[in-house]
Amino acid sequence: MKEYLVDIRNERLSFFTPAGEVKALNDVSLHVREGEVLGIVGESGSGKSVTSYSLMGLTAHPGRLVGGDLYFNGHYINEMSEREMQKIRGNEVSIIFQDPMTSLNPVFTIGNQIREVILLHTNKTRKEANDRARELLQLVGINEPDKRLKQYPHELSGGMRQRVMIAIALACEPKLLIADEPTTALDVTIQAQILELMRDLKEKLGMSIILITHDLGVVAGMCDHIAVMYAGKVVEYGTTDEIFYQPSHEYTKGLLRSIPNLNEREHKRLVPIEGLPVDMLNPPAGCPFAPRCRSCMKICLSSMPNYTQVSDHHSSACWLLDKEKFERQAEGQA
Amino acid sequence: MAEKNLVSFQLKVEDFLPATDAEKQSLTQMRPGVSFWKDAMRRMKKNKVAMISLCVILIIMIFSFILPSYYPYHYGQQIQGSEYLGPMTYSPQEQVRIDAGEKVFPHILGTDNLGRDYAVRVMVGSRISLSVGLIAAGIILVIGSIYGAVSGFFGGWVDLIMMRIVDIIYTVPDILLIVLISFALKDPMQTLAEKPGFAWIQTIGVNLISIFLVFALLYWVGMARIVRSQVLTLKQNEYVTAARALGAGSGRIIRKHLLTNSIGTLIVMTTLQIPSAIFTESFLSFLGLGVAIPLPSLGSLASDALNGLNTYPYLLLAPALLISLIILSFNLFGDGLRDAFDPKMKS
Amino acid sequence: MKNNKLVEVQHLKQYFPVKSDKMFEKKVVKAVDDVSFYINKGETLGLVGESGCGKTTTGRTLLRLHEPTGGKIIYDGKDITHVKMLPYRRKMQIVFQDPYASLDPRMTVGDIVGEAIDIHHLAANARERRERIVELLSLVGLNTEHANRYPHEFSGGQRQRVGIARALAVNPEFIVCDEPISALDVSIQAQVVNMFEELQERMGLTYLFIAHNLSVVKHISNRIGVMYLGKLVELADSYELTFNSVHPYTRSLISAIPIADPKVSRGTNRIVLEGDVPSPVNPPSGCHFRTRCAYADERCAAEEPEWREVSSGHFAACHHLEKVQ
């Protein structure tokens, strides 16, 4: 357990809404080592954001952890009180959100918001905190930091606001940075800048990153390992190369087939994944992807598949892999 | 990731056969539809206060509109010798008739100064008050919503001028205008009432007509402002642009898209206008500016009752209580409706 | 290339008034500033650019949803800049970006699709109307039973299909697709893109496909135009633009796109632009892109670059095209 900075085991989390129980996370297991970047890829309803928020104890009401164990940096998150969580938030683990406009408080200056987190977790004086804030703005590539410290969020552009978010997140040198769709709301050229910045900072500060996104292009360039999530379950997990070049799960394969590649020389029809996203109030009994899967078998509809280890770091939850094993066994006996 | 061991689970060859489309389909049924109204009704039903208010309103409606037809007494019927009877008492003449074996329906609320059965007068009074309230609310709804929608939709100069007119109307003192109009209309209305087919003017009274006229002239402005602000917000929505792109004209957009989406607000506002209109009418009738005698209204009954207040307090009690009950239940019901339709409450 | 122009805009301008701090000062934001292009019948012209470039405004102005401040709109040879649009609403339609906001929540799907039929009197009676609605729904992959349901009961991808069915109800020739897949999940995007392509083949439609995702635009378009702060900076055939672009902005845009291929991603030398997109209210003088361009000089600040044909069918506006190549 100590080898991992983040170790989530068999997490189950549900939202108890008036309409019914929404099983947002259904047996999710992930881990991140120090200095590593994990990408969590999934669409809406996959549970990718919910997982990270639960790690920080930020699960919104009416959500509740129903099962599993969460370990982070030697802490056992399940049993930590709110006060204890507050000590590690912003300090050992930070998060940056998708929309920088709504995550920054419009009535406080940038300087005020950066100083707030520093003053909360360290014993620095206000002046020292201000110096550190200036340092941080330079670190994230914002020029004229003194001027910026006095400005309000609405005076900055989207890209700059996201840099400020990163500055706030890094203020106390956390071991883990959670980036929840950090560039989805930004223009492509600005996205490139921010991703470049995150790569640089990771080298400089040696921190781990959990990068949550739906964009396969973004994870290809940034991540060491990738977890593909669908409807509250991690369906495939492996190194970046394995996921892109040897995808095992039908959902992963489907995603890769359905995105147009800029470098393609000829026009090939996209192969979409048929069907609709899962209704989380009424998920199917078996594999959640079954109704949309080209290779769906009878057992897929009734039972949840187990994880099969495809290689040292690569696993996938699919009955097709069990089928191969089953057939090999049958041949062996024959 | 570690593999789990399948201990109590045997795999068979058939498990690995491909699933048919039908089998896959069965897992992706759409949930039964929930329309906007059903959703709102569901929320309403949970609101006990609102549901009780609704029952009270229904009871009052039956009381006012249906019961008098089956009641043995008429509101204008003056019974000699039965003046100022207390509740459930008989006059000497009636006592004689009972002793003779005749069945005389009791005066549940007694009688008034002219020997008229009070219970039926209260019922009819309540009917008049409610009718005035409903009609007035209807007038306000129609004029106010159209005016507000047109002003909000067109914006620019049209909106500017229309809203300045609204501002001016707000400054006009309503009671004064009612008095002036009744005064001005008295003679023309009298001459009109003598013509055939216009006898109803006499029954209702010039005053009441003036009240309706003033409602139509002045009271719709509050509704107009609210509808206008709704329309201003709604017209930013992309489905309005989509309707324009399809070729829809202004009238169609206002009718089908803007007013339809404001229906929640319209219903709530109208429901809350009813008690306000009833109160205004009661107040005016109390002052003598309301219905013509012998038609009773709750306000005029209360006003008449003041004369003999010390000796016959029950004459004031019934109409006053009923006014309060009507206004309270409509207000509570309107609040309940507002909560039921409020999109922010949707989770 | 046949001269088969269906839609053309010439020197199109769309300026919006903006509140100014000083009294009597009229400030404008030049959302679309002298844009000219044409689209051939049956073709798809893609329009890409980042926020504030004016691509969405161009699409909407083309349909006269905003009245143009200047320039001409020509449809099938006729100047329609100032005419009554009602008959043209049957030929030119639009599909919107946000499937949640573009459908009236109080109308059933059937009524939403049937609204155009009602406006233009395309059905003689209720039965015909019903038949046409069912036909349209099946064209986009929805069934009859969906006609009585409300938009909030559907997923984003299904709602977008309803929007497409609505646009098809008038039997249009030309459709402006205004970021139609940006708000959808990745796995649904491919379904909708395919649907656009199939419908185009089947019905001979012409598209103006507006999006910020160049990969998708390249996939579906024959030619692509790149916009920056209200101006067209480059226009070429899709293949040509992707592999032989000449304008510095186009090149950095292409290089910024993350490729879903780890080896390629690691090997790429990205052209990372410095600075942010300037505000459209106060664009830089001369060439708007000069504040972020590696090749900018005094000439770029003084003079706006000319729109030139660089090679057959390939246009760009830049003073330093030779250097970039």
Convert A235-250 to b/e letters by CB count within 10 Å (16 or more is b): bbbbbbebbbeebbbb
- Compute the distance between CA of residue B160 and CA of residue B21 in angstroms, rounded to an integer: 61
Q: Does the beta-carbon distance from B33 to C90 stay under 8 Å? A: no
Contact C103 B239 (CB under 8 A): yes
Residue C195 phi/psi, 5-degree rounding, is: -60, -40
Long-range contacts of residues A306-311, Cβ cutoff 8 Å, at least 24 apart = A306/B3, A306/B4, A306/B6, A307/B1, A307/B2, A307/B3, A307/B4, A308/B3, A309/B1, A309/B2, A309/B3, A310/A238, A310/A242, A310/A246, A310/A248, A311/A238, A311/A242
| Cα C205 to Cα B319: distance, rounded to the nearest angstrom | 72
Question: Which chain A residues are closer than 8 Å to B13 by Cβ?
Answer: 330
Distance from CA of B40 to the nearest CA of C (A): 13
The predicted pLDDT at position A212 comes to 93
With beta carbons less than 8 A apart as the criterion, state whether B27 and A283 touch: no
| Cis previous bond, A277, omega within 30 | no
Are the Cβ atoms of C254 and A195 closer than 8 angstroms?
A: no
Chain C: closest CA distance from residue A4 (Å): 24
Q: Which residue of A has its CA nearest to B17?
A: A297
Q: Lowest mean pLDDT: which of A21-35, A209-223, B276-290, C263-277?
A: C263-277
> Could you tell me which of C173, C201, C314 has the C-alpha nearest to residue C247?
C314
Sort out which chain A residues have CB atoms less than 8 A from B1's CB and list them.
29, 237, 307, 309, 315
- Above pLDDT 70, what percent of chain A? 99
Report, as an integer, the average pLDDT of B287-295: 75
Mean pLDDT of the C240-265 span: 88
Count, in order, helices (H) and strands (E) of chain C: 11, 12
Q: Does B1 contact A322 at a Cβ distance shorter than 8 Å?
A: no
Report CB contact under 8 Å: B14, A298.
Answer: yes
* Among the ranges given (B147-151, B259-263, C173-177, C279-283), the one the predictor scored with the smallest mean pLDDT: C279-283
Contact residues, chain B, for C147 at CB < 8 Å: none
Q: Does A224 touch chain C (CB under 8 A)?
A: no
CB atoms within 10 A of CB A277: 20
Chosen for mutation from B7, B10, B16 (greatest number of chain A CBs closer than 10 Å) is B16
Contact yes or no for C89 and B241 at CB 8 A: no
- Whether the ω angle into residue A62 lies within 30 degrees of 0, i.e. cis, is yes
Starting from the edge strand earliest in sequence, which strands make up the sheet with C5-18, in order? C27-40, C5-18, C70-75, C78-79
**Tokens, residue A276:** 């609709």
When scoring A40, A160, A187, A257 by the number of chain C Cβ atoms within 10 A, the one with the most, hence best to mutate, is A187
Q: Determine whether the interchain pair B33/C120 forms a contact, defined as Cβ–Cβ distance below 8 Å.
A: no
pTM value > 0.95: no
Chain A residues inside the 8 Å CB shell of C270: 192, 196
Q: Report the distance separating Cα C285 and Cα C291, nearest Å.
A: 10
Least confident of A80-94, B85-99, C45-59, C241-255: B85-99
From chain B, the residues in CB contact with A17 under 8 A are 347
The predicted pLDDT at position B2 comes to 37
DSSP assignments along B154-170, one per residue: H-HHHHHHHHHHHHHHH
CB contact under 8 A, C277 and A241: no
For the stretch C77-128, pLDDT in tens is 999 999 999 999 999 999 999 988 899 988 889 999 999 899 998 888 999 9
Which chains share 3+ C-beta pairs under 8 angstroms with A? B, C
Q: Tell me whether residue B159 is exposed, middle or buried, using C-beta atoms within 10 angstroms of its C-beta: 0 to 12, 13 to 18, 19 or more.
A: middle
- Please give the residue of chain A at the shortest CA–CA distance from C272: A193
pLDDT digits (tens, 9 = 90+) for A208-262: 999 999 889 899 988 999 999 999 999 999 999 999 999 999 999 999 988 888 8
Rounded Cα distance between A167 and A96, Å, is: 10
- What is the average pLDDT value for chain A, to the nearest integer? 88
Question: Which of C50, C214, C260 is the closest to A256 by Cβ?
Answer: C260
CA-based nearest residue to C213, from A268, A170, A217: A217
* Encoded tokens for C187: 């796995």
Write down the number of H helices and E strands in chain B. Answer: 17, 0
Q: With contacts defined as CB-CB under 8 Å, which chain C residues touch A196?
A: 270, 272
Contact C95, C175 (CB under 8 A): yes
pLDDT in tens, C141-162: 888 888 888 888 888 888 999 9
Asked if B261's CB is within 8 angstroms of C105's CB, the reply is: yes
CB-CB contact of A258 with C190 (8 Å): yes
Lowest mean pLDDT among A195-204, B204-213, C117-126, C253-262: B204-213
Q: Which helix (H) or strand (E) holds A235?
A: strand A233-239
Main-chain phi, psi angles of B25, to 5 degrees: -60, -40
Question: Closest approach of chain B CAs to the CA of C65, in angstroms?
Answer: 7
B7 min Cα distance to partner chain A (Å): 12
Q: What is the pLDDT of residue B11?
A: 67
| Inter-chain CB proximity A187 and C51 less than 8 Å | yes
Rounded average pLDDT over C51-73: 92
* Preferred mutation among C91, C102, C103, C150 to probe B, highest tally of B CBs within 10 A: C102
- Strand ranges of the sheet holding A225-230, from the earlier edge strand across to the other edge: A93-96, A176-180, A208-213, A37-41, A225-230, A233-239, A315-317, A307-309
Are B273 and B129 a contacting pair, CB within 8 Å?
no
Comparing CB atoms, the residue among C51, C218, C272 nearest residue A192 is: C272
Using CA coordinates, name the residue in chain C closest to A142.
C275
Q: Nearest CA to CA, how far is C165 from chain A (Å)?
A: 18
A19 in reach of chain C (CB within 8 A): no
Per-residue pLDDT tens over the stretch B168-217: 998 988 888 878 887 887 788 777 777 777 767 666 777 777 778 888 88
C197's enclosing H/E stretch is helix C186-203
A191 to C50: CB separation less than 8 angstroms, yes or no: no
Check if the beta carbon of residue B273 is closer than 8 Å to that of residue B137: yes
Contacts of C115 in chain B (CB under 8 A): 243, 246, 248, 256
How many whole angstroms separate alpha carbon C126 and alpha carbon B311?
Answer: 69
Query: Could you give the CA distance from residue B327 to residue B314 in angstroms, rounded to a whole number?
Result: 20
Q: What is the DSSP string of B263-298?
A: HHHHHHHHHHHHHHHHHHHHHHHHTT-SPPTTS--H
**Interface check A262 vs C, CB under 8 A:** yes
Give chains near C: 3+ CB pairs under 8 A: A, B
Mean pLDDT score, B1-30: 61
- Which residues of B, range 29-48, sit inside 8 Å of A by Cβ? 31
Closest CA to B226 of B342, B148, B321, B299: B148
Residue A264 with chain C: CB contacts under 8 Å: 219
Instruction: Calculate how close chain C gets to B242, using CA atoms only, in Å.
Output: 7
**ipTM value:** 0.86
The partner residue sitting opposite A276, judged by closest CB among C158, C258, C265, is C158
Instruction: Give B146 or B68, the one with higher predicted confidence.
Output: B146
Query: Cα(A277)–Cα(C265) distance, rounded to whole angstroms?
Result: 29
Residue A21: predicted pLDDT: 86
In this structure, the number of other CB atoms found within 10 A of the CB of residue A102 comes to 11
| Secondary structure of C265-294 in HEC code, one letter for each residue | HHHCCCCCCCCCCCCCCCCCCCCHHHHHCC
Residue C54 has pLDDT above 50, yes or no: yes
Contact C219 A267 (CB under 8 A): yes
Contact flag A221-C188 (C-beta cutoff 8 Å): no
Torsion of CA B205, B206, B207, B213, to 10 degrees: 120
Distance from CA of C190 to the nearest CA of A (A): 5
Calpha distance C270→A193 (Å, rounded): 10
A269 contact residues in C (CB cutoff 8 A): 194, 197
Nearest to A221 among C197, C265, C273 (CB): C265
> How far is the alpha carbon of B37 from chain A, nearest alpha carbon, in Å?
17
Query: Residue B300 and residue B297: Cα distance in Å, rounded?
Result: 5
Q: Percent helix, strand, coil in chain C (nearest 5)?
A: 35, 25, 40
Residue in C193, C215, C256 nearest the CB of A192: C256
Residue C44 in this model has a pLDDT that exceeds 90: yes
Report the gap between the CA of C218 and the closest CA in chain A (Å).
Answer: 7
Cβ-nearest to B24 among A18, A291, A307:
A291
Question: Which residues share a beta bridge with A229?
Answer: A234
